[in-house]
C-alpha cells in the first residue's frame, strides 16, 4: 500500500469517526440528555459537541428548533441549583441558535418563536453589580432583570443582549450590537449601545432616520431605495 493511499484511508477513517460521534452525540427529545430538560420539543435537536449545559430541569425548548454546536445553555449559577417550581429559560418553536452562542438564565429569559441567531451571540438576564467601588465587581451581588426576544427576530453574529432587554417582534439586531432596554417591533438596531437605525411604518415603508444615516454613512448621501423614506441630502 502506498503512502498516499494510507493517508487517504486514515483521512476517511477520521472523518467517518467524527460523523459517527456527531450523530451519536446529537441531543433530541428521544435521547437521555433531551429527557433531562423541562421540555424538549418534537423535531428539535442540539448538535454535538455541546457547550456547557446544566439546569436542564428549568429549560424549555420548543418544537422544530435547532441548537448549533458548542452552544452553552444554562439555568442557574451552578449545576444542581434549585431555581424553584417553574422554568426560567424558554426557547420557542422553529428557532435557530448559532454555533458557539451562550444563553444564560437565572430569573426569566424568553426567546419567542422563529428567532434566528448568528454564531457567538450572548444572551443573559443577569449582570454583575458594581455599586460598591471598594469591592471587586466579581464579588458583588449580581443583578437580575427579565429578558424577552420577540418572535421572528434575527440576532447577528456576536450580538449581546443584556439583562432587562425587551426586543419586539421581527427585529433585526446588527452583528456586534449590544442591546439593552426596550426595542420596538419591526425595526433594525445597531451599535454599542444599540440604537434604532431603521423602522417600518405602515403605509410608508422602511424609514431611515438622519441620526442613523450619520452613524452608518458618516452623513454622506444615502442611496435612493424605492419604497424607503430617506433623509435629505446634506447641504453643498
Q: 165: helix, coil or strand?
A: coil
Q: 22: helix, coil or strand?
A: helix
128 is known as an active-site residue: yes
Distance CA 78, CA 106 (A): 10
- Helices H, strands E: what count in the chain? 3, 25
Report the Cα–Cα distance between both ends of the chain, in Å, rounded. 75
Distance CA 73, CA 85 (A): 19
Give the active site residue among 15, 90, 128, 186. 128
User: Which of 82, 93, 32 lies closest to 58 in space, CA to CA?
Assistant: 82
For residue 61, list its beta bridge partners: 40, 91
Q: Hey, which residues are catalytic here?
A: 128
Amino acid at each position: 500500500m502506498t503512502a498516499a493511499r494510507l493517508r487517504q484511508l486514515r483521512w476517511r477513517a477520521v472523518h467517518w469517526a467524527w460523523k459517527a460521534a456527531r450523530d451519536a452525540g446529537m441531543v433530541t427529545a428521544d435521547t437521555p440528555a433531551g429527557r433531562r430538560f423541562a421540555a424538549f420539543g418534537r423535531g428539535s435537536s442540539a448538535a454535538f459537541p455541546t457547550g456547557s449545559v446544566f439546569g436542564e430541569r428549568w429549560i424549555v425548548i420548543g418544537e422544530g428548533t435547532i441548537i448549533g454546536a458548542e452552544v452553552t445553555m444554562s439555568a442557574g449559577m451552578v449545576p444542581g441549583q434549585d431555581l424553584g417550581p417553574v422554568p426560567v429559560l424558554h426557547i420557542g418553536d422553529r428557532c435557530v441558535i448559532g454555533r458557539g452562542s451562550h444563553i444564560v438564565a437565572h430569573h426569566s429569559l424568553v426567546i419567542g418563536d422563529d428567532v434566528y441567531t448568528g454564531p457567538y451571540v450572548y444572551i443573559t438576564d443577569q449582570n454583575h453589580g458594581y455599586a460598591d467601588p471598594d469591592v471587586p465587581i466579581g464579588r458583588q451581588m449580581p443583578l437580575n432583570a427579565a429578558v424577552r426576544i420577540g418572535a421572528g427576530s434575527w440576532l447577528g453574529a456576536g450580538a449581546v443582549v443584556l439583562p432587562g432587554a425587551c426586543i419586539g417582534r421581527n427585529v433585526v439586531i446588527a452583528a456586534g450590537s449590544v442591546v439593552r432596554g426596550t426595542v420596538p417591533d419591526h425595526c433594525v438596531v445597531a451599535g454599542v449601545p444599540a440604537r434604532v437605525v431603521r423602522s417600518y411604518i405602515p403605509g410608508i415603508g422602511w424609514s431611515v432616520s438622519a441620526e442613523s444615516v450619520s452613524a452608518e454613512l458618516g452623513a454622506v448621501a444615502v442611496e435612493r431605495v424605492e419604497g424607503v423614506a430617506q433623509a435629505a441630502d446634506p447641504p453643498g
